Amino acid sequence: MPALLQTDLSPLQPIARGKVRDLYEAGEDKLLFIATDRISAFDHVLGSGIPDKGRILTQTSLFWFDFLKPLIANHVLSSNVAEFPANLQQHADQLRGRSMLVRKATMFPVECVARGYLSGSGWKDYQQTGRVCGIALPSGLKESDRLPKPIFTPAAKNNIGHDENIGFDAVIKTIGDENAENLRSLTMQIYAKASAYAESKGLILADTKFEFGTIVTSEGATQILLADEVLTPDSSRYWPAATYNPGGAQPSFDKQYVRDYLEEIRWNKQAPAPALPQNVIERTREKYLEAYRLLTGNHDLPA
């Protein structure tokens, strides 16, 4: 199947299109998340999609939501299109395997990042200040080093451009003491469980980002849910354990061919982003599939 770059569920209009997902309202208290095959690099959506990428991301998220259920409730209501509202049935071909009907939650405006290794913006902050999000770290760490213990490095959701790393005190200011403690604790528990599992499958989970929201239950209680996508290659940094070699950047598990190509053609990283050659598309698709296979143990995507 060719890559799905954009959904068209007319007469329904999306309420948002992210870099990868298209988001629709699905009744008062539900949302429809559809992962397209768009791919981004250096903060731009590229001119080509990766066939099946959206299905791989959705199935990877579903695997993890289920895996983490003993630890935390999540926003997924169904991924079975036959159970979706009647007005979506005519669009089943665009939805199957790549969509989730979720509970609409009140989102905390905090990206809950856990890091077990020093990389990306964490490495940048450390080089400048010896700290990441205000957390002091031992001196002399190298890029991609494993941290003495995993840390919580929240970021403020920033609609324009990059999310901004913030200290825990700023999180408390935004969402209060109790919520801040809860999100930090949940983030670190999930990271511990997920990174141990990933490692048993030959993958290092260097860092990852979670988003949480709240709903009010039928009994009137406020409940925290794990929302958005979870532990996909798009929200996480996975490295093959076999080639892990601190002291420099590690090759990206999924996007390395894309990044290499974009560097090779010396793209200036300004819009419009270029399209990708067929071999880069195919090799990248294989990497997404490989991550999915390693993590879930499934060889094929569901039909």
Residue 168's Cβ-count burial label (10 Å; 0-12, 13-18, 19+) is: middle
Residue placing its CB nearer to ligand ATP in the complex, 30 or 131: 30
- Using the rule CB under 6 A, give the single segment among 14-22, 50-58, 260-268, 274-282 that binds ligand ATP: 14-22
Residue placing its CB nearer to ligand ATP in the complex, 104 or 193: 104
Residue placing its CB nearer to ligand ATP in the complex, 35 or 281: 35
> Interface mask (CB under 6 A) for ligand ATP, residues 95-134, using x and -?
-------xxxx-x---------------------------
CB of 243 to ligand ATP, least distance (A): 28
Binds ligand ATP (CB under 6 A): choice among 56, 186, 194, 227: 227
Residue placing its CB nearer to ligand ATP in the complex, 55 or 75: 75
- Using the rule CB under 6 A, give the single segment among 11-19, 89-97, 252-260, 267-275 that binds ligand ATP: 11-19
Strands, E, within 110-235: which ranges?
110-117, 131-132, 135-136, 146-152, 155-156, 164-165, 203-216, 222-227
Residue placing its CB nearer to ligand ATP in the complex, 19 or 201: 19
- CA–CA distance, 39 with 279 (Å, rounded to integer): 15
In sequence order, the β-bridge partners of residue 237 are 207
Strands, E, within the chain: which ranges?
16-17, 21-25, 30-35, 40-41, 44-45, 76-78, 99-103, 106-107, 110-117, 131-132, 135-136, 146-152, 155-156, 164-165, 203-216, 222-227, 236-240
In sequence order, the β-bridge partners of residue 151 are 115
- CA–CA distance, 183 with 112 (Å, rounded to integer): 7
How many chain residues touch ligand ATP (CB under 6 A)? 17
Cβ 108 vs Cβ 213: under 8 Å? yes
Which residues between 176 and 215 bind ligand ATP (CB under 6 A)? 211, 213
Residue placing its CB nearer to ligand ATP in the complex, 102 or 137: 102
| By CB under 6 A, residue 151 contacts ligand ATP | no
Query: Which residue ranges make up the site for ligand ATP (CB under 6 A)?
Result: 16, 18-21, 23, 31, 75, 102-105, 107, 211, 213, 227-228
